[in-house]
Amino acid sequence: MGFNLEHIVPWGRSYAEYVAMFALSRFELQQRILGCGDGPAAFNAQLTGQGGRIVSVDPLYAFDAEQIRDRIVATCETVLDQARQNRDDYVWDVIPSVEALGRMRMVAMETFLADFVAGRSAGRYVAGELPSLPFASGSFDLALCSHFLFLYSSQLSPAFHLQAIREMLRVAREVRVFPLLTLEGQPSSHVAPVTAELKWEGFRVEHRRVPYEFQHGGNEMLVFRPG
């Protein structure tokens, strides 16, 4: 797969953050959900615990729990230092401080790690990577992508984004992507060309406000559906 653990910084969000980032209703939480690039987030573990049906796909899942834990420990302080240095780029209300951010993320990642071995055996954590997913067409109702597409706009081209979103729309009836900002906190310049192309191909594309904002101005998701 060519995915090197030394190059990645595992960082996982909580279940509550996922529900808010994607404005998920109780009904939607009961659907068949695919999480693309979920990494060490707690969403899969907690939703499964509540009886939900979710599969997460991420190249990180090719590694074992100890390797992932070691990498989290090795990189966690660096991520928090960056948050301290760029404090003004974030909204400190629900998450009141960098220290609280660190605690919240570590709880989420511990929840993931505690679930990972059983979840991988059950087929809930699948090693794979966009833009090519190892699932049959129409396998899911909803595909979610948090903090991967658009966030890494400097590293991932508009063509990659198009391929990735088309692929998610192949395996799911609806796709939601959050945030629409880059790592630097700027609106991604890929949003306009990617949405224009997918509309031209006949997909319905909607910008929707969500009840979540941590990066300043990062409170919108894109929703894609077949036309």
Ligand X SMILES: C[S@@+](CC[C@H](N)C(=O)[O-])C[C@H]1O[C@@H](n2cnc3c(N)ncnc32)[C@H](O)[C@@H]1O
State the nearest-atom distance from the C-beta of 185 to ligand X, in Å: 14
Q: Which is nearer to ligand X, 59 or 119 (CB)?
A: 59
Comparing CB distances to ligand X, the nearer of 12 and 119 is 12
Residue 62 contacts ligand X per CB under 6 A:
no
**Is 15 a residue that touches ligand X (CB under 6 A)?**
no
Interaction between residue 58 and ligand X (CB under 6 A): yes
Q: Quick check: 224 and 198 in contact, CB under 8 A? A: yes
Q: Which of 20, 60, 172, 210 binds ligand X (CB under 6 A)?
A: 60
Neighbours of 187 (CB within 10 A): 16
Question: Nearest residue to ligand X, using CB?
Answer: 39
Element (H, E) at 102: helix 98-121
Q: Looking at beta carbons only, is 66 or 200 nearer to ligand X?
A: 66
11 binds ligand X (CB under 6 A): yes
Q: Does residue 13 interact with ligand X by CB under 6 A?
A: yes
What strand order describes the sheet that includes 204-209? 125-126, 53-57, 32-36, 140-146, 172-178, 220-225, 204-209
In which element (H, E) is residue 54 found?
strand 53-57
To which H or E segment does residue 52 belong?
Answer: none
Q: Does 12 bind ligand X (CB under 6 A)?
A: yes
Distance in Å, CB of 53 to ligand X, minimum: 18
Task: Give the residue, chosen from 148, 212, 214, 224, that forms a contact with ligand X under the rule CB under 6 A.
Answer: 148
**Tokens of residue 187, six digits:** 């609106």
Distance between first and last Cα of the chain:
33
Which one among 36, 68, 95, 210 touches ligand X, defined by CB under 6 A? 36
Closest listed residue to residue 26, CA positions, set 8, 1, 49, 47: 47
Interaction pattern, residues 113-132, with ligand X; x per rule: CB under 6 A: ----------------xx--
CB 220 within 8 A of CB 208: yes
**Out of 15, 20, 24, 39, the residue judged to bind ligand X by CB under 6 A:** 39
Q: Which positions from 151 through 210 interact with ligand X, judged by CB under 6 A?
A: none
Total residues contacting ligand X by CB under 6 A comes to 17
SS (H, E, C) 179-223: CCECCCCCECCCHHHHHHHHHHCCCEEEEEECCCCCECCCCEEEE
> Which residues here bind ligand X, judged by CB under 6 A?
8, 11-13, 36-39, 41, 58-60, 129-130, 146-148
